Amino acid sequence: MALRGNLRDFTITQLLNLINLAHKTGTLVVDGPSEQAYVSFREGKLAYARVGQEDGSLATVLHKANRLTVNQYRAIVERAGNISDKELGLLLINAGYLTQEDILANLQGYFTEVVRRLFTWVEGFFRFEAEMPPPSDRINVRLDLENIIIEGSRQLREWEQLSDEIPSLDMALKFTDRPLKNVNLSVEEWRVVSYINPRNTMKQIAHTNKMNDLEIRRIVYGLLQAGLVEIVRPEGVVVPQNPKMFPTQVKEEQKSLVNKLIGRIKTL
């Protein structure tokens, strides 16, 4: 039977565990809340991964890891044409720019990060394509899944806890009356703090700061616990009254109806 289903019924952790134990080769395709991920395995080991619009190429990975400047990255994308990742890797090694270990470490870090992101996906569909081996035009790695699974399980618990505390990122934040002084914040926290305004939703702050749902929740949770911010409905967003709330849409009749309810409750 095809290995496919819903992430609500079968979590990423369970899927990785199965792939690991069954020594599977193929590609796990996950349709998440807003993007798609491809994670390839060879004999139960992580070989390659990419997510969303990112192509998962060596140039992209090295650029994201700040090992290639924007100009170097552009030059490779524009001029290197059909050069494969393996060829590019050899060129960089032969030029003395990077070592083989550097390249592998960066790829492993990137692929692991993609899989880590998947742990925060609780909604979505997956399918395992046994006919889709790890891409041959990309450099493949061989990473044991055990540590990733353990770390993922830990992250999943954290995710569940943070989702309980901050269920919706469509809400905004505002500072409490406490002054924000003598508080030691990290660079990431400052980035979030600088956008705190009842008009900005947490989703917008995360997007602006290129943070995923887990990262923004982590920071907001800390600020909430410290009593520095509170969650509010976003200002300036006019939410129309649900027409089902009142049997009438005439304001005065609505008021009269609420007064009738008050009168009745008092006499109970």
What's the min distance (Å) between Cβ of 34 and other proteins?
Answer: 18
Pick from 105, 171, 180, 185 the residue near other proteins by CB under 8 A.
171
Binding residues with other proteins: total (CB under 8 A): 34
Q: Which is nearer to other proteins, 93 or 257 (CB)?
A: 257
- Per rule CB under 8 A, is residue 9 in the interface with other proteins? no
Q: Which is nearer to other proteins, 4 or 255 (CB)?
A: 255
- Per rule CB under 8 A, is residue 244 in the interface with other proteins? yes
Stretch near other proteins under the rule CB under 8 A, chosen from 65-73, 114-122, 142-150, 225-233:
225-233
CA distances 188 to 114, 177, 185, 216, 223, Å, are: 20, 22, 8, 9, 12
Pick from 72, 164, 199, 222 the residue near other proteins by CB under 8 A.
164
Pick from 61, 166, 214, 223 the residue near other proteins by CB under 8 A.
166
Q: Which is nearer to other proteins, 39 or 219 (CB)?
A: 219
Tokens standing for residue 11? 């979590």
- Per rule CB under 8 A, is residue 251 in the interface with other proteins? yes
- Per rule CB under 8 A, is residue 250 in the interface with other proteins? no
Q: Give the 3-state secondary structure of residue 200.
A: coil
Write the DSSP string, 147-162: HHHHHHHHHHHHHHHH
d(CA 52, CA 43): 25
End-to-end CA, the chain: 61
Query: CB under 8 Å to 1, separation ≥6 — which residues?
Result: none
Pick from 79, 181, 210, 266 the residue near other proteins by CB under 8 A.
266
Length of the chain: 268
- Per rule CB under 8 A, is residue 248 in the interface with other proteins? yes
- Per rule CB under 8 A, is residue 204 in the interface with other proteins? no
Strands (E), 107-171: 125-129
Pick from 123, 147, 233, 235 the residue near other proteins by CB under 8 A.
233
Q: Which is nearer to other proteins, 47 or 228 (CB)?
A: 228
Tokens standing for residue 190? 């400052």
d(CA 209, CA 168): 18
Residue 258 phi, psi (nearest 5): -65, -40
d(CA 104, CA 139): 9
- Per rule CB under 8 A, is residue 242 in the interface with other proteins? yes
What's the min distance (Å) between Cβ of 255 and other proteins?
Answer: 6
Do the Cβ atoms of 10 and 27 come closer than 8 Å?
A: no
What is the contact surface with other proteins in residues (CB under 8 A)?
164-168, 170-171, 224, 227, 230-231, 233, 239, 242-248, 251, 254-255, 257-266, 268
